[in-house]
Amino acid sequence: MRAVARTRFTVPAGLSADAPPEARGLARDEVRLLVARDRRRLRHARFTDLPGALEPGDLVVVNTSDTEPAAVDGRRSDGRPVALHVSGPTPDVDGGFVVELRTPAGERVSDAAAGESVHLPCGVVAVLQVGYPDPGAHVSRLWRATMPVEGGVPAYLAVAGRPIRYYYLAGDPTIEDYRTVLAGRSPSPRAEFAGAEMPSAARPFSRRVLAGLAARGVDVAEIVLHAGVSSPEADEVPLPERYRVPGATAEAVNAARARGGRIVAVGTTVTRALETVADTDGMVRAGSGWTDLVLGPDRPVRVVDGLVTGWHEPEASHLLLLEAVAGPHLVGRAYRAALEREYLWHEFGDSCLLLPDRHG
């Protein structure tokens, strides 16, 4: 039986950020930041205060994954409208993609079946093959699908796709709203399928914050992890995702640890990538491929000392990762304070910096 997070809470509907902060009159780096440390009072700040919460010699590691306009509107074989979300390529070389079907109202489609066709714009037809990750499942949230398109799927989505949007959003944010200032911009059309969803913990970063980190003596290193579609089902195991940790980043992490600096990951994606290439002594090596690592009580963190994160859903598997980094007591304190002070949830919401005491 898989472990579950100890942090439990309920998020009132009014705490869902229903638009980017820019629509609320804020710059992206002006969202709130809760700074949570062991044995210290919680600090309520703004994201622009992040550099001052860290120490010279610390290393911040960011995810430079770009975001695909991964939602395409189409029709099922019986004519019913549907939104097809492209999560990314399958973890093998069959050329297929993992997809999710949702109704126009944003609800999950529960009656899809293997062999069903979804008719998309420009004459493209996606055909569901088997459930994913369990090919024997008769009811599945995700599906392996074929989606043949001339020029590649990223080029097709650039023309026919839109950002994946969820029920709590009031408007229609553009793809630029879903891109971080750290996103690696490839030549257009991009050959590699990027993330189905943005690495949202990095969205509040700005050139101003990056300059502040440099002035503080805090270095920044980069990884890439392309996230698939969100998985808010209770205690769902994270699915395999593509990652790349460059040699320069591995060297920067090892050098920071050697001088006593903290490794602060920006988001669960960065934590997963770094921990995938960390040995039992916390030394990091360059690597790339697919990671199926699940962090929690059975696999504690080896290299990440702190975490910049957004606010996750109750019972989401991400909470186990947060507890693996910061411990359930500190995570619980932070979430109780966020609810009391009415911090905003989801990808356009507020932020948290978890800085537990280091042990060992």
pLDDT score for 21: 97
CA 189 – CA 152 distance, rounded (Å): 9
Q: If you compute the radius of gyration of the chain from its CA atoms, what whole number of angstroms results?
A: 20
pLDDT score for 359: 52
pLDDT score for 50: 98
User: What token pair was written down for 321?
Assistant: 């990762």
The pTM for the full model equals 0.94
Q: Which pLDDT tens digits describe the chain residue by residue (360 residues)?
A: 456 667 676 888 899 999 999 999 999 999 999 999 998 899 999 999 999 999 999 999 999 999 999 999 999 999 999 999 999 999 987 789 999 999 998 899 999 999 999 999 999 999 999 999 999 988 899 999 999 999 999 999 999 999 999 888 998 999 999 999 999 654 445 568 999 999 999 999 999 999 999 999 999 999 999 999 986 555 567 889 999 999 999 999 999 999 999 999 999 999 999 999 999 999 999 999 999 999 988 899 999 999 999 998 876 678 889 999 999 999 999 999 999 999 999 999 999 999 998 754
CA 231 – CA 271 distance, rounded (Å): 17
pLDDT score for 257: 97
CA 270 – CA 225 distance, rounded (Å): 7
Domain ranges of the chain: 13-67+194-355, 71-162
pLDDT score for 315: 67
User: Which of 110, 111, 101, 100 has its CA nearest to residue 81?
Assistant: 101
Residue-wise DSSP of 2-18: ----S------GGGB--
User: What token pair was written down for 142?
Assistant: 């995700």
pLDDT score for 313: 81
Report how many helices (DSSP H) and strands (DSSP E) the chain contains, helices first.
Answer: 7, 15
Are 121 and 149 a contacting pair, CB within 8 Å? Answer: no
Are 242 and 228 a contacting pair, CB within 8 Å? Answer: no
Containing 154, the helix (H) or strand (E) segment is: helix 153-160
CATH match of 13-67+194-355 with 3.40.50.300: no
Amino acid of residue 132: Y
Are 123 and 150 a contacting pair, CB within 8 Å? Answer: no
